[in-house]
Amino acid sequence: MPDASPRPEPFTPRTDPGALEDLRARLRGTRWPDAPEDAGWSFGTDLGYLRELIAYWADGFDWPAREAELARLPHFRVPVGGLGIHVVHARAVAPAGAPVLPLVLTHGWPDSFWRYAKVVPLLTDPGAHGADPADAFDVVVPDLPGFGYSERPTRAPLDSVAVAGLWAELMRVLGYERFGAAGGDLGSHVSRYLALDHPDRVVAVHRTDAGLPLPTTDPAQLTPEERAWTEAAAAWGATEGAYAAMQRTKPQTAAFGLTDSPAGLAAWIVEKLRAWSDCGGDVERSFTKDEILTNVTLYWLTGTIGSSMRMYRANAAVPPAQHARRVEVPSGFSIFRGDVVRPPRAWLERTANVVYATEPPRGGHFAPFEEPELYARELRAFFRPYRAAAARNVRR
């Protein structure tokens, strides 16, 4: 009988020229809102900046060139759990006999595999970038279901627990029985559940955040540092959390406008890139216009802003008991200086078996993209003791 097991199939992103013509027509026909005089970014996305960005998107941005750059990464589609999952799967360049650690990197919102595009070559071929060649990884970067080039769930959206189960199967299809996991934002949740539900397969887990405190957390059981953090998180939610409230409750309402208007989509995303990165208020200190628009154009061309937001609704229904579980797999945290709502060490140790914790001096919520060299160094340092345990189980 023929082998019916799922197999990765090479995938090359290709955009229909007609889709780009439609995009440019919509950009040029944008109907602009008014804004209070001198509002800047205080009411949300700055009108003047967005006009400048949209003008460049319509008449200066070269998507075919950006798409060709992304296509240099090794792309595949893998059938997992009834969905076609898009994955960048890049093999290590390592000295003969050196243990190679498989590593699955999971992105968050509002992005896709784009978050790790700069860091993939640093992790797969460290010797070419001034680091120890023995620290090479086999790197797996999937798009979450309903993000990027992965298929959307057609019924209920998947939560982070379910996606962790998909990733466990994805890694098995790719030939990895044991592996490391890393991520931030939604990717932090997925990586956490990989470690919780598959501790026999995940040798260690690295995260750039530890989630937000739960409303059910009893302040009396927390340290003073933790209580201060929960208060700061509540204050942040009051001023910055409207997007999350919408995405948790009525994501489909926002999806109509954001799927129809590229200017609206850019406004929704670029405000978060600015607010969450270590840019000091100037988004282009962390991202060039081309980099911003590559991320936004991926959302536009794949039509995935609605399906990406629905994951917030799915995660809002995860039972509190799941959030209360402690990760016993060896855990590392790199809490970058410019990230939002940075947890104290006491919270990390309350929720995970912490064997590594640092506070890198630069970078924010999108650290793998903002500071790829620094992020790569963090992963190399944390995972180094766990290489041999995973490498014995790699099918090459």
Catalytic status, residue 185: yes
Q: Which of 46, 111, 135, 185 is catalytic?
A: 185
Residues 103/170, Cβ–Cβ less than 8 Å: no
Q: Token pair of 126, please?
A: 């460290």
Nearest in space to 143 (alpha carbons), one of 177, 176, 125, 170: 170
Residue of 312, 339, 375, 386 marked active site: 312
Q: How far apart are CA 119 and CA 123, in angstroms?
A: 6
How far apart are the C-alpha atoms of 298 and 287, rounded to whole Å? 16
CA–CA dist 205, 223 (Å, integer): 25
Distance of CA 285 to the CA centre of its chain: 20
- Dihedral angle, C-alpha 109, 114, 116, 117, nearest 10 °: -170
Q: Is 365 a catalytic residue?
A: yes
- Which of 125, 149, 365, 386 does the annotation list as catalytic? 365
Query: How far are the Cα atoms of 22, 108, 117, 303, 392 from residue 146, in angstroms, in the given order?
Result: 22, 12, 19, 9, 33
Q: Is the dihedral of CA 213, 356, 108, 263 positive or negative?
A: positive
Nearest to 149 by CA among 258, 89, 75, 252: 75
Give the three-class secondary structure for 78. Answer: strand
Which are the catalytic amino acids?
Answer: 185, 312, 365
